[in-house]
C-alpha cells in the first residue's frame, strides 16, 4: 500500500498515542483495582476486630443472629452493595453462619483454623458473584467474613469503558493533529518535489526554490538550489567546452582538408611545394592529436573526491617531471626547492608541473634554460621567452584561450587551464608572475600540517 507522507505521519501519531494511552490505561486500571480491593480488605479486617472485641459470646450471638439490624457486626445494605456474609466455627465445626451463601473452606482456611496462619484473604467466585473472603482466628473461634465485589467490579467496568473511549478519542485526535502538522511540514517538501519534477521535465536549471526557513526542510531546499546551480554551471561549462572545442578543431581540420585536396593534384605541384604541404599536414595532425588527447583527458577528469590523495614531497615530484623533459627536449632545467610536503594526487600534480614546463619550453627560445622554484607549496616555472602581455594575464588559464600574437603557434590552449583546475582541486590556485623578461607561471597549494596558506 503506497501512502503519502501526510497519511503516514498521521497513522504513526495515532498509533503512538494509542499505545501510550493503552499503557496508561492498564496502569490506571491496575492501580484503581488494587486501591478498591484494599478498601474492601480494610473493611473486612475492621469487622474481624469488632468480633474479636465483643465482651462475651452471648453478645456475639445476639449480634450475629440479628444480621440485618442497623449497626450490627455483620449488617448488609438493602441494595446488595457492601453485602456481608459470615461464618463462625470452632474445632467442632460451624456454630453460626449467615443466610444465602455458603462460603468456601479450603487448605489455606484450614491452616488458619489450626493456627498455622493468622489470617488469609482471597477472592473467590460463589454462585456467580465475586467475593472477597477473609478468614481469621478470634477468641471465639475461626471467623470468615466475605464482602461482595459487585460494587468494585461495576466501578472497574465503568473505568474500563472510560479508558477505552479515551484511547479511541485520543488516537483520533492524534491522527487529525498529526495530519495537520504533517500537511504544514510536507508543504515545502511538496514544493521541492514539484520543482524537481519541473526541472526534470523542462531542463530549466535556472529555477530556484525560495528558502524562508532555517530548519532541516530549509537546508534541504538550500541544498537543492545549490545542486541546481552546480548543474547549471556544469552545463554551461560543457556548452562552452563543446563550442570552444568545435572552434579549435575546425582550424586544423580545414587546413588538413585543404592540403589533402591540393595533394590530390600532385602531378601539377612542384616538389618543394609538395614537401611543404606534407609538412603542414603533419603539423596540423600533430596539433589535432594533441588537442583530442587533452579533450579526452578533460572528459575523463575525475571529481575531486575521487582522486587518490597522499602525502608527497613536492621537490621530488618536480624533479621527476623535470628529468623527463630534460631527456625529451634537451633543455637545461634548474630546480631550486625546499622540502615542502603536500597532500595531493601524484598523477594530477605531475601533469600540472609537466604542463608548466612544456608551456615554458614552447614559448622560450630554443636551447634557453628553464628554472623551477619550489617553496612552501608553491611551484613556479620561469622561461626566457617574450613573456605574457598584461592584457592577456587574466585569461591565460581559460580553456582554449590563446593570445593574439600566439594564434599562429601550435597549441590547444588547454594546458594552463588544466594547471588551474588541478590547483583548485588541491585547495589552491594558479598564478602568472609580473616579470620584465620571460614569463613566470605556477600554482600554490597548502602544505601538510598547516591551516590555510603556508608562509612564503
Q: Does position 432 have pLDDT exceeding 50, yes or no?
A: yes
User: For residue 312, what is the enclosing H or E element?
Assistant: strand 310-313
**438 CB-contact burial (10 Å; exposed 0-12 / middle 13-18 / buried 19+):** buried
CATH 3.30.565.10 placement within the chain = 306-444
Asked if residue 186 lies in contact with residue 66, where contact means CB atoms within 8 angstroms, the answer is: no
Going by C-alpha positions, the residue among 137, 93, 94, 89 that lies closest to residue 112 is 137
Q: Quick one: pLDDT at residue 250?
A: 66
- Which of 1.10.1240.10, 1.10.3720.10, 1.20.120.450, 1.10.287.130 is the CATH number of 233-299? 1.10.287.130
Asked if residue 413 lies in contact with residue 295, where contact means CB atoms within 8 angstroms, the answer is: no
User: In this predicted structure, which of 272-281, 318-327, 330-339, 438-447 has the lowest mean pLDDT?
Assistant: 272-281
Averaged pLDDT, 151-156: 86
Q: Does position 309 have pLDDT exceeding 50, yes or no?
A: yes
CATH 3.30.450 placement within the chain = 5-155
Note the CATH number of domain 5-155.
3.30.450
> Can you give the pTM of this predicted structure?
0.44
Averaged pLDDT, 59-68: 50
Q: Quick one: pLDDT at residue 306?
A: 58
Distance CA 116, CA 162 (A): 44
Q: Does position 151 have pLDDT exceeding 60, yes or no?
A: yes
User: In this predicted structure, which of 195-209, 298-312, 328-342 has the lowest mean pLDDT?
Assistant: 298-312
Per-residue pLDDT tens for 232-251?
877 776 776 666 666 556 65
CATH 1.10.287.130 placement within the chain = 233-299
CATH top class, domain 306-444: alpha beta
**277 CB-contact burial (10 Å; exposed 0-12 / middle 13-18 / buried 19+):** middle
Q: Quick one: pLDDT at residue 443?
A: 93
pLDDT interval class at 280 (50, 70, 90): confident
User: For residue 134, what is the enclosing H or E element?
Assistant: strand 129-138
Grid cell 525560495 is found at: 210
Q: Higher pLDDT residue, 135 or 254?
A: 135
Per-residue pLDDT tens for 384-415?
877 777 777 777 777 666 555 554 455 556 77
Amino acid at each position: 500500500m503506497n501512502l503519502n507522507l501526510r497519511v503516514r505521519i498521521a497513522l504513526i501519531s495515532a498509533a503512538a498515542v494509542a499505545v501510550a494511552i493503552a499503557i496508561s490505561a492498564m496502569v490506571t486500571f491496575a492501580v484503581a483495582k488494587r486501591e478498591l480491593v484494599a478498601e474492601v480488605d480494610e473493611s473486612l479486617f475492621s469487622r474481624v476486630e469488632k468480633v474479636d472485641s465483643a465482651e462475651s459470646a452471648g453478645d456475639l450471638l445476639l449480634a450475629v443472629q440479628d444480621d440485618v439490624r442497623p449497626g450490627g457486626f455483620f449488617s448488609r445494605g438493602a441494595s446488595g452493595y457492601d453485602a456481608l456474609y459470615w461464618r463462625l466455627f470452632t474445632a467442632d465445626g460451624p456454630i453460626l453462619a449467615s443466610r444465602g451463601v455458603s462460603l468456601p473452606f479450603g487448605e489455606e482456611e484450614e491452616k488458619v483454623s489450626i493456627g498455622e496462619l493468622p489470617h488469609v484473604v482471597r477472592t473467590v467466585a460463589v454462585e456467580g458473584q465475586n467475593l472477597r473472603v477473609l478468614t481469621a482466628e478470634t477468641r471465639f473461634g475461626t471467623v470468615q467474613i466475605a464482602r461482595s465485589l459487585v460494587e468494585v467490579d461495576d466501578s472497574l467496568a465503568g473505568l474500563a469503558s472510560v479508558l477505552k473511549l479515551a484511547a479511541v478519542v485520543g488516537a483520533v485526535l492524534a491522527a487529525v493533529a498529526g495530519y495537520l502538522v504533517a500537511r504544514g511540514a510536507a508543504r515545502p517538501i511538496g514544493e521541492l518535489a514539484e520543482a524537481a519534477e519541473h526541472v526534470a521535465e523542462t531542463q530549466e536549471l535556472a529555477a530556484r526554490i525560495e528558502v524562508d526557513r532555517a530548519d532541516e526542510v530549509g537546508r534541504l531546499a538550500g541544498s537543492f538550489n545549490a545542486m541546481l546551480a552546480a548543474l547549471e554551471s556544469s552545463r554551461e561549462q560543457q556548452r562552452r567546452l563543446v563550442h570552444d572545442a568545435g572552434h579549435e578543431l575546425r582550424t586544423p581540420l580545414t587546413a588538413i582538408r585543404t592540403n589533402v585536396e591540393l595533394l590530390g593534384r600532385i602531378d601539377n605541384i612542384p616538389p618543394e611545394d609538395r614537401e611543404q604541404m606534407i609538412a603542414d599536414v603533419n603539423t596540423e595532425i600533430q596539433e589535432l592529436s594533441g588537442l583530442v588527447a587533452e579533450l579526452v583527458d578533460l572528459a575523463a577528469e575525475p571529481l575531486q573526491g575521487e582522486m587518490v590523495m597522499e602525502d608527497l614531497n613536492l621537490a621530488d615530484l618536480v624533479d621527476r617531471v623535470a628529468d623527463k623533459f630534460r631527456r625529451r627536449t634537451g633543455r637545461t632545467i634548474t630546480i631550486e626547492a625546499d622540502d615542502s610536503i603536500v597532500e595531493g594526487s601524484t598523477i594530477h600534480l605531475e601533469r600540472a608541473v609537466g604542463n608548466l614546463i612544456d608551456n615554458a619550453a614552447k614559448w622560450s627560445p630554443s636551447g634557453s634554460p628553464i628554472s623551477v622554484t619550489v617553496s612552501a607549496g608553491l611551484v613556479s616555472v620561469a622561461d626566457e621567452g617574450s613573456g605574457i602581455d598584461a592584457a592577456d594575464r587574466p585569461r591565460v588559464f581559460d580553456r582554449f584561450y590563446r593570445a593574439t600574437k600566439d594564434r599562429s603557434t601550435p597549441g590547444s590552449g588547454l594546458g594552463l587551464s588544466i594547471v588551474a583546475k588541478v590547483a583548485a582541486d588541491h585547495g589552491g590556485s594558479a598564478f602568472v608572475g609580473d616579470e620584465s623578461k620571460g614569463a613566470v607561471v605556477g600554482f600554490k597549494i597548502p602544505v601538510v600540517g598547516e591551516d590555510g596558506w603556508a608562509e612564503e
